[in-house]
Amino acid sequence: MESICLNALGKRSGEVAVLDVKSGRLSAHIRQGLSRPTYLPGSTAKLVTAYAGLSSGAINIRTSFGCRNVFKINGCSYTCTKPGGHGRLDISHAISSSCNIWFYQAARKIGQKQIKRAWASFGIHLDPGTYPVERLAIGEAGIQITPVQMAKIARQIAINKHRQGTAYPILCEAMRMAVTHGTAVPLSNAPVAIAGKTGSSSHYRDANLRHGWFIGFAPYDKPQIAIAVLCLEGNSYRSAVPVTRKILEGLYADR
């Protein structure tokens, strides 16, 4: 499996972690050309923020917010990924389309305490610090993380996929939507059904550049693997998503 992951990564600087969903053991872990152990998670953090809101009751599956593309935080204007905005969205569509503006508004209802508690429930303890809760909610402040840790988050979601009455089934459905008609749509015709979340976090050296993330699990109906892909340069659509596709093609070529 490591040779498949290495071939998929190619000449990119990055890291791939694949976990066996059932046992939690690392099935593959490759790392090349990275100068740091941890990176901002970017929009993959929205899964944890959503979990925080749903678990605390601050938001629910019907909660909706509007996105007009621009949102002000402490006097600074931030834009979303879609020119003109996404319009009004519920949580599933906010995750699948990765709407920053939706999550900025949700973060103000959820609060930093609940978001930190959610990260802790996934085994990640955030350092105390002062940063806008809105930026924490979309993984652009307050946390640095490794691909192995992100793969563990994907696995935790996968193994709780059928726990009705919890946030997990909602997250799983939204992650599948991200693949079928959201930010990870190039994976929609992969050889196996996968659910996941993209992220394009700020580059640690240059705020105008991006790191690409994809985390998820497959097959969707009966998860076997949980995966996290980080590519040092290039947003998720140009880097982590195509790498993930190559890995799936290598692992499930006979399907």
User: What are the residue ranges spanned by the domains of the chain?
Assistant: 1-37+144-255, 42-143
Please state the CATH superfamily assignment of the domain spanning residues 42-143 in this structure. DD-peptidase/beta-lactamase superfamily (3.40.710.10)
CATH ID of 1-37+144-255, from 3.30.450.330, 3.30.390.10, 3.40.640.10, 1.10.1370.30: 3.30.450.330
- Provide the residue-wise pLDDT of the chain in tens; the chain has 255 residues: 999 999 999 999 999 999 999 999 999 999 999 989 999 999 999 999 999 999 999 999 999 999 999 999 999 999 998 889 999 999 999 999 999 999 999 999 999 999 999 999 999 999 768 899 999 999 999 999 999 999 999 999 999 999 999 999 999 999 999 999 999 999 999 999 999 999 998 876 666 677 999 999 999 999 999 999 999 988 898 899 999 999 999 999 866
| pLDDT for 115 | 97
| pLDDT for 16 | 98
The per-residue DSSP string of the chain comes to: -HHHHHHHHTT--EEEEEEETTT--EEEEEEES-S-S-B--GGGGHHHHHHHHHHHTSS-TT--EEE-SEEEETTEEEE-SSTT--EEE-HHHHHHHT-HHHHHHHHHHH-HHHHHHHHHHTT--PPP----HHHHHTTSSS--B-HHHHHHHHHHHHHTTT-TTSSHHHHHHHHHHHHHHSTTGGGTTSSS--EEEEEEEEPSS-TTSEEEEEEEEESSSS--EEEEEEESSS-TTTTHHHHHHHHHHHHSTT-
Output the pTM of the full model. 0.96
| pLDDT for 207 | 67
